[in-house]
Structure 1
Amino acid sequence: MITPALPLSYERTPSADESITAWALAARGGDSAAVDHFVRALHRDVIRYVAHMCADPQAVDDLAQDTFLRALGSLHRFEGRSSARVWLLAIARRAVADSLRYTAVRPRRADLPDWELAVELAQPHGLPGFDDGVALFELLDGLPEERREAFVLTQLLGLPYAEAAALSDCPIGTVRSRVARARATLMALLAEAEEAPTPALAAA
């Protein structure tokens, strides 16, 4: 990865977003320390976003690195008109879209044991209504792409609905509707999982 031993993403607050945007602007001017702060602050958000949006968990790390490489190569064009977080997630969105177009024309690789790591990295903690042990990655994978993206952006990454709408190029009301439908579907799937008998009980 670009930066080893990266910590969790910074708490999403207006002041934190302002700091991250300031780091991005400083990094544009060649400040290497600002580059490091910028990458560390948003690394977890990018991992979560691409893990939930791409069709191949094995590609998560590559997509995250591709996102940051694209961003660092485009920093000279970043003017701070939007938050650096939204700007970076827009780049991640394009990276995922490019990856999906590429993988659509070649056979998918077989699943490997490290898919569990991608799930763990994407797994939110302390999200109301979800136990930490639930493989939310798998549940979200069953949602339509637009609802999955709206849920990930607002509920997992904490973007305001207005910023999620700008990123997704749709009205705020549409984002709210997608999130509500995604939440309803996820709660229904969780209820089904809780009611399903375990293999041991089923065999008894």
Structure 2
Amino acid sequence: MITSVLPVSRPPERTTADASATAWALAARGGDPHAAEHFVRALHGDVLRYVAFLSGDPQSADDLTQDTFLRALDSLPGFEGRASARTWLLSIARRAVADSFRRAAVRPRLADMHDWQLAMERSQPRDLPGFDDGIALLDLLEMLSDQRREAFVLTQLVGLPYDEAARFLGCPVGTVRSRVSRARATLERLLREAELHAVQAA
């Protein structure tokens, strides 16, 4: 059912997990490979979700996630733990996505086929668990403004607490709550319209 793609609102209280990830990052800063491995494992899923929705390209998400962690591990000696490791890592992920957009903008696009779009569609993976839901949510998120989409992804998909998302985005907590609320209202309206259209078509 289409409505399953919209995440259920949940309180994103993850202070224990954040404290653990931050402790692993601080330990890894000193060159402990065991701590570095735990740091990556603790935050890999959050980074993967964030870059997938921020970039709008699930197929490049693994590469962007790997790039994020490579940058983070190189920068660990400068990490002092003033913000949580997750917030610090997501800011690196945001830069990695922005850099990928810049590279794509200047890269020449060559195709030896007349219908390159059809070729791309045929090469997309299918029949993966949750694939259709993920694509549906990506399509819906594309209809939101950039600010609302990022606030929604950070709090509802990545699970960042509202106050931490506010610090990350550089705006008041009330602004984040408002953006998420409006994003959710828009997504719910779009889902209702899509369901109505599906029923009428049937």
Q: How does 1:97-176 map onto structure 2 within 5 Å?
A: 97-106=98-107, 107=109, 110-111=120-121, 112-114=123-125, 120=131, 135-176=136-177
Unmatched segments (≥5 aa) in structure 2: 1-11, 111-116
Number of residue pairs the alignment of both structures matches: 181
Query: 1:146-190 deviations in whole A, cap 9, x for unaligned?
Result: 111100111112211111111112222221221111111100111
Return the structure number with greater relative CO, CA threshold 8 A, min gap 6: 2
**Cα deviation per residue 1:97-126 (whole Å; 9 max; x = unaligned)?**
111122223349834313886974xx9xxx
Residues 117 and 148 (structure 1), Cα distance of their counterparts in 2 relative to 1, 3 Å cut:
farther
Q: What corresponds to 1:6 in structure 2?
A: none
Q: Residues 41-96 of structure 1: CA distance to partner in whole angstroms, max 9, x if unpaired?
A: 11111110011010433211111110000000000010010110111011001111
TM-score normalised over the length of structure 1? 0.79
Give 1:47's aligned residue: 48
Structure 1 match to 2:28: 27
Cα drift, residue 137 of structure 1? 2.1
Q: Which moved more, 1:143-152 or 1:102-111?
A: 102-111
Max Rg structure: 2
CA distance, structure 1, for counterparts of residue 75 and residue 88 of structure 2: 11
Greater helix share, structure number: 2
SS at match of 2:198: coil
Compute the TM-score of the two structures, normalised by the length of structure 2. Answer: 0.80
Give aligned-pair identity as a percent: 62
Q: Do the aligned partners of residues 13 and 35 (structure 1) sit closer, same or farther apart at CA in structure 2, a change above 3 Å counting?
A: same
2:194 corresponding residue in structure 1: 193
Q: Sort the Cα spacing of 1:91 and 1:118 in 2 relative to 1 into closer, same or farther, 3 A.
A: farther
Q: Which moved more, 1:98-107 or 1:146-155?
A: 98-107
Amino acid aligned to 1:46: V
Which amino acid is the alignment partner of residue 100 of structure 2? S
Structure 1 residues 151, 25: CA separation in 2 closer, same or farther (over 3 Å shift)? Answer: same
Query: Structure 1: which 5+ runs fail to align?
Result: 1-10, 124-131
